[in-house]
A and B are shown apart, each in its own frame.
Chain A
Amino acid sequence: MGIWRRLRNVGFWTLCGLAALAIAAPALWVLYTVFHQSLPVIGWRLLTHNTNAGGLKNAILGTLWLLFGVLVLAGIVGVGSGIYLAEFAPRGIGQVARFFSDVLAGMPSIVLGYVAYITLVVQAGWGYSYLAGVIALSVLVLPYIVKTTEVALRQVPTALREGAAGLGMTERIILWKIVLPPALPGIMSGVIVALAISTGELAPLLFTVGFTDNNPSLALTHQQVPYLTSVIFTNLQLPDPQAQYLSAAAGAMSLLLLVILILIGRLITARSVKATRRMAL
């Protein structure tokens, strides 16, 4: 009987290994290709020179600057709406808002880019600009932030709210002092995911921010903004091999940003898991 059991064991572990490989392989494949292709141009030059001189400095700065805009705009609007939906909204309004949020979440980003182009770039007359891009990206990621905020708030035990209410605290103070602190890690990881999505988006930006070899300016309108995903897309179509290497390097840089964001998110959730586990005791 020992042999069958051992065979079953081997089979089981083989399957486990294969499953793990199936998940890891695509990621490794992408990482390997991108880094391998960008090898010839990897160096400090990427950080010190702009895209017209074999570097990525302007695109990195532009991407970070766009992410900052999304953090502020989508962060405030999204977290605010999430709080409203979880804590204050009457049921009817909540259901309507959630429906539109779902529609938005499934919206192809290129459609969003098109709409932003027509209304903001053309009709509002902003031209290719920072503000148009930030708004397009923010609309794209808003549903994630709203959803995670709402879920994080609803996970705060009723017993805590009732305990606070039983002491005569006002609704506003209960929200700020009792409900928000334990929900904060969940809310923040939603915002981080939103930023990660923004990092990799191209379609809404193609239509809204344009591109420039210069460093991004602080102007909200009428000034084009450089960003990494555009370099990936445009440079690959250029005949010059150096330009193509830069395309891969921009991809590598986006991945690096993504990994940093994921790690930050991990750190936050790890802490919150610890906190919730203790809350359950």
Chain B
Amino acid sequence: MSPTVNLSTGERRPLLRPGTSEVAPTADDIVLSTQHVSFFYGDVQALSDISLDVHRQEITALIGPSGCGKTTFLRCLNRLNDMVPRTRLEGQVLFDGEDLYAKSVRPIDIRRRIGMVFQRANPFPKSIYENVAIAPRANGQRGNLDDLVEESLRRAALWDEVKDKLKSSAFDLSGGQQQRLCIARAIAVEPEVLLMDEPASALDPVATQAIEDLMQDLKRDYTIVIVTHNMQQAARTSDRTAFFTVDQRPEGRVGVLVEYDDTNTIFTNPKDPRTEDYVTGRFG
């Protein structure tokens, strides 16, 4: 089908094809689609043949044992792995139907539209306010950003804790608060897709709940891909779940996608015994 969004301009084309009254087929529901993606760090293969569709306005959870390539896969989706020297991607990633890795596509345009929250909190060595405001300002937003900063911090369930010390350093926050600051920072840019790498691993139950509420809230406008080690969290929050694992091969350990389905199916009626072992806790 024809793409609905021009990647280089960000301009949305009408969903209706000229000359027909027919709405473009359901493939439009797919925001991101990886097709036979393999990924290599130097000569070491980290991912093998991953094909997976991320649906619009859904939460897609990636689960699997440590080292199976969840983070690597997530970083393929916004071209962050471009920054790691001597890496290589095979296969295709489609974003709104267009090749994400085409020569004409600039990674920074992609990353503004596909945001990321990292596994380890990485706030900038600046004030809390600056952490949230810096990217919108750098990306060209002028004027007073107070409202945007407050709104982003509220949505990340951090506002009440920091509203009286917006000017103090982000490093003065606790680990969990830093992680929520990174979430606020990411949503301040208003991306279309949010990639979240274990955003709740350092959070207490209250903050975790707040983040899960945020995800449900964001889902109305955005698409979310989340990596989590927490089975309950995946089951509670996500619409679809992908189970990755490590495949022992003669040439080394490689991450593979075992099963991808509705979250309900993955957790209650998985097709692959490896998935069942993992979700029921008999593995890893």
Q: Is the CB of A167 within 8 A of B189?
A: yes
Q: Is the CB of A278 within 8 A of B125?
A: yes
B120 touches A (CB below 8 Å): yes
CA distance in complex: A159, B119 (Å): 10
Q: Is the CB of B134 within 8 A of A177?
A: yes
A53 touches B (CB below 8 Å): no
19 contacts between A and B (CB under 8 A): A157-B122, A160-B122, A160-B125, A163-B182, A164-B135, A165-B83, A166-B115, A166-B118, A167-B186, A168-B108, A168-B110, A169-B108, A169-B134, A169-B139, A170-B108, A173-B138, A177-B134, A181-B125, A281-B171
Q: Mark B170-191, 1 if CB is under 8 A from A, else 0.
A: 0100000000001001100100
Contact of A165 among B80, B126, B185 (CB under 8 A): B80
B229 touches A (CB below 8 Å): no
Which A175-205 residues have C-beta < 8 A from chain B?
177-178, 181-182
Which A251-281 residues have C-beta < 8 A from chain B?
275, 278-279, 281
Top 3 closest A-B pairs, CB basis?
Answer: A168-B112, A167-B135, A166-B116
CA distance in complex: A149, B135 (Å): 25
Q: Is the CB of B122 within 8 A of A168?
A: no
- Please, how many residues of chain A have a CB less than 8 angstroms from a CB on the other chain? 22
Known: A181-B125, A278-B125. A166 touches B80 (CB 8 A): yes
Q: Mark B98-113, 1 if CB is under 8 A from A, else 0.
A: 0000000001111111
B169 touches A (CB below 8 Å): yes
Q: How far is the CB of B267 from chain A (nearest CB, A)?
A: 30
A162 touches B (CB below 8 Å): yes
Q: Is the CB of B125 within 8 A of A169?
A: no
Residues of A within 8 A of B126 (CB): 181
Residues of B within 8 A of A165 (CB): 80, 83, 107-108, 111
CA distance in complex: A276, B120 (Å): 17
Residues of B within 8 A of A279 (CB): 125, 171
Residues of A within 8 A of B118 (CB): 159, 162-163, 166
Which B84-141 residues have C-beta < 8 A from chain A?
107-113, 115-116, 118, 120, 122-126, 134-135, 138-139
CA distance in complex: A177, B133 (Å): 12
B78 touches A (CB below 8 Å): yes
Q: Is the CB of A160 within 8 A of B120?
A: no
Total A-B contacts with CB atoms under 8 angstroms apart: 73
Residues of A within 8 A of B123 (CB): 163
A161 touches B (CB below 8 Å): yes
Residues of A within 8 A of B185 (CB): 163, 167
Known: A169-B139, A177-B134. A164 touches B124 (CB 8 A): yes
Q: Is the CB of B111 within 8 A of A178?
A: no
Q: Which residue of A lies closest to B112 (CB)?
A: A168
Contact of A168 among B83, B169, B171, B189 (CB under 8 A): B189
* Interface contacts beyond A162-B118, A167-B115: sample of 8 additional A-B pairs, CB < 8 Å, sorted by A: A161-B83, A162-B122, A166-B115, A166-B116, A167-B112, A167-B134, A168-B109, A168-B110
Residues of A within 8 A of B120 (CB): 159
Q: Mark A125-162, 1 if CB is under 8 A from B, else 0.
A: 00000000000000000000000000000000101111
Q: How far is the CB of A32 from chain B (nearest CB, A)?
A: 44
Known: A159-B122, A275-B125. A166 touches B78 (CB 8 A): yes
Q: Is the CB of A278 within 8 A of B171?
A: yes
Q: How far is the CB of B42 from chain A (nearest CB, A)?
A: 14
Q: Which residue of B lies closest to A275 (CB)?
A: B125
Q: Which residue of B lies closest to A156 (CB)?
A: B125
Residues of A within 8 A of B135 (CB): 164, 167-169
Residues of B within 8 A of A167 (CB): 111-112, 115, 134-135, 138-139, 185-186, 189
Q: Which residue of B lies closest to A178 (CB)?
A: B124
CA distance in complex: A72, B155 (Å): 48
Residues of A within 8 A of B186 (CB): 166-167
